Structure 1
Amino acid sequence: MEEFGKDVLEGLTAKPKYLSSKYIYDAEGDKIFQRIMKMPEYYLTNCEFEILETYKDELMHHFSGNGDSFELVELGAGDGLKTKILLQHFLKKNVRFSYVPIDISHNILTKLEADILDRWPQMNVEVLHGEYFSALESLQEDKENKVILLLGSNIGNFPKKEALNFLNDIRNRMNDEDQLLIGFDLKKDPDVILQAYSDPHGHSEAFSKNVLARINRELGGQFDLNRFRHFQHYHPVEGNCESFLISSEKQEVRIEALGVAIHFDKSEPIHVEISQKYDFTGIKALLSAAGLKIKQSFQDERGYFSDVLCEINV
């Protein structure tokens, strides 16, 4: 709670105001996001399902090489639903591997581990709760090669400059023979993108507002969620899709644990999330700048999404 409170105070006293999207993901946020992923408008999930199902055999050969065992390390594992396509296929083909899911949500990791061991008790699973880089560092001395998964649009949660820093940090924790499979949401019709992040069911709004609800629950905040509304913006040239919470009136909100009252002007925004979209020129440039080279890219039939397999550029 100490780090949470510090980050909340820093973000809500900044100009303009912001809150880190990672704090949306507690037990309640996880539930809402599961609902979002099942929406017909949220194309990302089905696109990546299609890619992994279509290319699971090809990916198996890339990952296992000459039949050597490897660690399948997933950053931001969530419920592992898409990854289970690969897990099931690899077990069926007697591939030698262990699965290492990493997530900041202890709640969802506990559920994931229980589900996997219930379904496949023979699987070697080691869940790691916490930040990605400390977890990767703990694995760096392992003798087995690693295949690092960054699925969904996790890389899209960063602005481009921060995405490069993030990939540099991953690259610095990879050994020479390690590989990285990373998902990129591709630029497309702006209406398709906006419908995925500002849905008519209200799930996206509930998801964004969960960060305020969490401040209320954990820090004694007095946010009236009805006095804020969800607003989504997409820039088709830059590719950044951003979520804001807009104060519907002039107000002050007390946060007891921080001993502060935060002032909001009418229509003042709080930035809560970014979902960056890419084209292939941008993907190649980003990976190259991070010292990575593309081995192969895989797309869904509509060309909405791409999973890109890369390795260290030595």
Structure 2
Amino acid sequence: MKTTTLTNPFAEDVTKGLTASPKFLPSKYFYDDRGSRIFMEIMAMPEYYPTGCEFEILSQQSPAIVNELPFTAPFNIIEFGCGDGMKTKHLLKAFMEHGVPFTYIPIDISQEAIDVLEANINLALPGIDMQPQTGDYFEALTGIDSGKPALFLFLGGNIGNYKDAEAIALLEKFHTQMKAGDMLLMGMDLQKNPRVIQKAYDDSYGVTKSFNMNLLTRINRELDADINLDQFDFYCDYNPQNGEVNSYLVSLKKQHVHSALLNTTFYFEKDELVWTELSKKYTLESITTLAGSAGFNVVHNFMDCMHYFTDSLWIK
């Protein structure tokens, strides 16, 4: 394998992942503009319960969430990985009706997602004070008024994409950015019937497969590679004993692919796996443990009627 100087994080991470043993591709690269559109299709599938469950929580329990917050002066609502804002608008509406002024600061890596969110939120809540940011979560925080109290939102079960040590490290970074009394509302998927989870992450329509295969399309486009998508498949597995869904791309033959941009060739064995994503499911006990590990206290777990999902409210 011959390599050249790498010039961007995507190139660096792809090179690292496809030369590792076992191979992997970081799931954060799912969310280019096309990947974000495919994920919106996933969220619309009836089998993909997290979206509907969290929508139920935020549409029916937002006033109760607002009542748990101590803010009486102007504050910030900072949302990481905001997506299209269709769930968050219910919470924002409850805050507007509560009467305490706030600034909504949605942060997403996808500019297209931010554009869609702005249109949705402005249509639903005209007059809202909104300052959207595109880019890395913590880089975007540098320009925000940190003098105000803040509610941080990390919805959608995104914390489940991090291994335990990585999740604690991320939450500790949140904790460092927060002041005493600031709060974090975090979407967390709960352990349940394994068949329900398996169907949600291995749908019969092939949408989740397309979401994963888009990583290969992105490598072809951005790194000038020659990956034949027909020579790869998608597989996922749920382990109910540890609550982990792991997703993979599978090489269907012994093959090699070349990136002209990197001047690098990557080699795959037949049936070799490329790990793409972890989606961890929690118990209420493990949520309390995770919060404590990062210096937070759990205030309340707001759950949907089936107890499939929780928006867990923590305080620093």
Structure 1 length-normalised TM: 0.95
What is residue 3 of structure 2 aligned with on the other side?
none
Q: Of 39, 43, 68, which aligns to 2:45?
A: 39
- Supply the AA of the counterpart residue of 1:208: N
What is residue 16 of structure 2 aligned with on the other side?
10
C-alpha distance in 2 between matches for 1:53 and 1:95: 19
C-alpha distance in 2 between matches for 1:225 and 1:237: 33
Map 1:158-307 onto structure 2 (within 5 A).
158-307=162-311
Does structure 1 conserve the Cα–Cα contact (< 8 Å) formed by 2:302 and 2:310? Answer: yes
1:301 is paired with a residue whose SS is coil
Quote the RMSD (CA, aligned, Å). 1.4
Q: Of 49, 61, 65, which aligns to 1:59?
A: 65
What is residue 96 of structure 1 aligned with on the other side?
101
C-alpha distance in 1 between matches for 2:140 and 2:58: 25
Q: Of 85, 109, 133, which aligns to 2:90?
A: 85
Unmatched 5+ stretches in structure 2: 1-6
**1:76 equivalenced with 2:81 (yes/no):** yes
C-alpha distance in 1 between matches for 2:122 and 2:90: 15
How far is the alpha carbon of 1:137 from its aligned partner? 4.1
How far is the alpha carbon of 1:159 from its aligned partner? 0.8
How far is the alpha carbon of 1:90 from its aligned partner? 2.6
Does structure 2 conserve the Cα–Cα contact (< 8 Å) formed by 1:254 and 1:260? Answer: yes
1:172 is paired with a residue whose SS is helix
How far is the alpha carbon of 1:66 from its aligned partner? 5.5
* CA deviation string 1:129-186 (max 9, x = no partner): 12112223443x5322100001011100101111111101110110112100011100
Does structure 1 conserve the Cα–Cα contact (< 8 Å) formed by 2:84 and 2:120? Answer: no
* CA deviation string 1:230-258 (max 9, x = no partner): 10011111111010000011111111111
- Supply the AA of the counterpart residue of 1:2: N
C-alpha distance in 2 between matches for 1:5 and 1:168: 28
* Residues 167 and 53 (structure 1), Cα distance of their counterparts in 2 relative to 1, 3 Å cut: same
- Supply the AA of the counterpart residue of 2:274: I
How far is the alpha carbon of 1:68 from its aligned partner? 2.0
- Aligned-residue sequence identity (percent) comes to 40
Map 1:143-158 onto structure 2 (within 5 A).
143-158=147-162
Does structure 1 conserve the Cα–Cα contact (< 8 Å) formed by 2:85 and 2:121? Answer: no
- Supply the AA of the counterpart residue of 1:18: F
* Residues 144 and 46 (structure 1), Cα distance of their counterparts in 2 relative to 1, 3 Å cut: same
- Supply the AA of the counterpart residue of 1:101: P
Unmatched 5+ stretches in structure 1: none
Does structure 1 conserve the Cα–Cα contact (< 8 Å) formed by 2:85 and 2:120? Answer: no
C-alpha distance in 2 between matches for 1:299 and 1:265: 44
What is residue 314 of structure 2 aligned with on the other side?
310
Does structure 1 conserve the Cα–Cα contact (< 8 Å) formed by 2:86 and 2:120? Answer: no
- Supply the AA of the counterpart residue of 2:93: Q
How far is the alpha carbon of 1:119 from its aligned partner? 3.9
- Supply the AA of the counterpart residue of 1:222: D
Q: Of 29, 35, 38, which aligns to 1:23?
A: 29
C-alpha distance in 2 between matches for 1:66 and 1:37: 32
How far is the alpha carbon of 1:118 from its aligned partner? 4.0
C-alpha distance in 1 between matches for 2:110 and 2:239: 30
Does structure 2 conserve the Cα–Cα contact (< 8 Å) formed by 1:137 and 1:173? Answer: no
